[in-house]
Amino acid sequence: MHEATKAAKVSFYDYIVIGGGTAGIPLATTLSEKYSVLLLERGGSPYGNTNISSVYNFGSYFLDSSPNSPSQQFISDGVINARARVLGGGTCINAGFYSRGEPNFNVEARLVDEDLVQKSYEWTEKVMVFKPVIQKWQSVFKSALIEAGLVDNGFTYYHKIGAKIGGTIFDPNGTRHTAADLLQNANPNGLSVLLHATVHKILFKTKGKSRPLAYGVIFTDSLGNKHIAYLKKGEKNEIILSAGALGSPQLLMLSGIGPKEQLDAQNIKVVHQQPFVGKGMADNPMNSIFVPSPIAVEPTPLQVVGITRFRSYIEEAGGVNFIFANPSAYQGFSPQMGGFIFEKINGPKSKGELKITNLDPTDNPSVTFNYFKEPTDLQKCVNGIKTILKAVESKAYSSYKYANMTVKYILDLNMKLPVNLIPHPNSFSTLEQYCKDTVRTLWHYHGGCRMGDVVDDEYKVKGVDRLRVIDGSTILNSPGTNPQASVLMLGRYMGVTILEQRLASGKS
């Protein structure tokens, strides 16, 4: 692992992976077993940064707008969101919950080898996943979900309807383990990792070719110096985009692949007209209730979830700042003086679009998700909020000795919180209005290079050669209660698949 300032001006590799995140790291690590791989990450290292590593500092980076922040803020539909800018990607800034996706995700993602899916999950779990230590806040929440009508599924990594305890990437000491830890499995002679390496465009050969052929990338280091990395000779060598739901469609367009009208507007030469790049952007809307406590609640980001039959997920986070707000606005309550119960709808029908606004790859593209545009999404939210209210009104919370307050006191106190935090649903005319006015994000946005539209069943970009996209931008529906397990698995699965295909072809 080196700063890009130490990189050669010109270099050659069998594979170039753009994006050292949730999919890119397991992918590059796997490919390095047999081939030379360059992994380009636009951010820095997660190691030594206690804001990333410690559960007690969860969420602090969301308010850090400095260039070196591991989190880059963007806004869509008025909702503040964040994208990772650090080696390890979203595993460095998320709430740490680990749960495998539902079986239908494997079908949508064209992952046909069930045995390899299982082994790919296990490959990740050996390094960075733990069984959480359930404390008082989570125990009460789980009991409340069961009282609200969900069956008890205990502890499991699998996606099951009911209440369950999932895995976590925070170890028992409260230390986060990120996708960067998977690099310990890499071949050190096969993998080069460059930090603060910002890719500006992918290079294509078009002269004398029936289809554009990807053959290299241009990237800059932290000092602005330009470097070029080329693919070595070999028809199986490839460039793989793993820059995420914002970065991958953005880089495709900056490289000349995308809707012609967008490329023309930025005076980008059209390499291949692809109208679906940037289309089908989606984010799972989240709505929350804050439950105050007169004494501190242990910091526990997301360890228990409720999976409902109506495709809403009920989740929790105790003692952490789970929203973008100034803690001083809590009127005497710090984030540790309570917890959040929130719901996220699964498989939103509402879709939006990503557009580039300039030629700077470090800037955010323009993104719209169109939260609750489709009525079915709004109804899922209403059903989820009703389930939360049942849980809060349960005996589990009314006898919550840790907080030592009655349900009525919880609700009354919650309604007194400032509107810029989490107002209670009872303060709105309808639950539909509550869902619309208090919508936030769980950072599970996806789309932009969707399977079937932009990439084929092998994640190869349609209409060009030697270029794939393997990350959350290809996903049709965010898998499970949290997508990180499935995206980590996808990176490993496709890495193994590519190696096996290359071996079967007899071409090194």
Catalytic residues: 444
Residues facing 241 on adjacent strands: 18, 469
* DSSP string over 102-156: PHHHHHHTT---HHHHHHHHHHHHHHH-B-----HHHHHHHHHHHHTT--EEEE-
Confirm if 461 and 238 have CB atoms less than 8 A apart: no
Give the count of beta carbons closer than 10 Å to the beta carbon of residue 366. Answer: 15
Distance (Å, whole) CA 254 – CA 252: 6
φ, ψ at 71 (rounded to 5°): -125, 130
Distance (Å, whole) CA 285 – CA 464: 34
Distance (Å, whole) CA 402 – CA 409: 14
Confirm if 449 and 249 have CB atoms less than 8 A apart: yes
Closest CA to 345 of 282, 433, 280, 286: 286
DSSP 466: S
Closest CA to 372 of 352, 393, 357, 397: 352
Residues facing 288 on adjacent strands: 342
Print the SS3 string covering 196-254: CCEEEEEEEECCCCCCCEEEEEEEECCCCCEEEEEECCCCCCEEEECCHHHHHHHHHHH
Distance (Å, whole) CA 359 – CA 254: 7
Confirm if 291 and 339 have CB atoms less than 8 A apart: yes
Size of the chain, expressed as the number of residues it contains? 508
Closest CA to 303 of 465, 486, 481, 503: 481
Distance (Å, whole) CA 61 – CA 42: 17
Q: How far is CA 77 from CA 82, 325, 431, in A?
A: 13, 18, 20
Strands 226-231 and 10-13: parallel
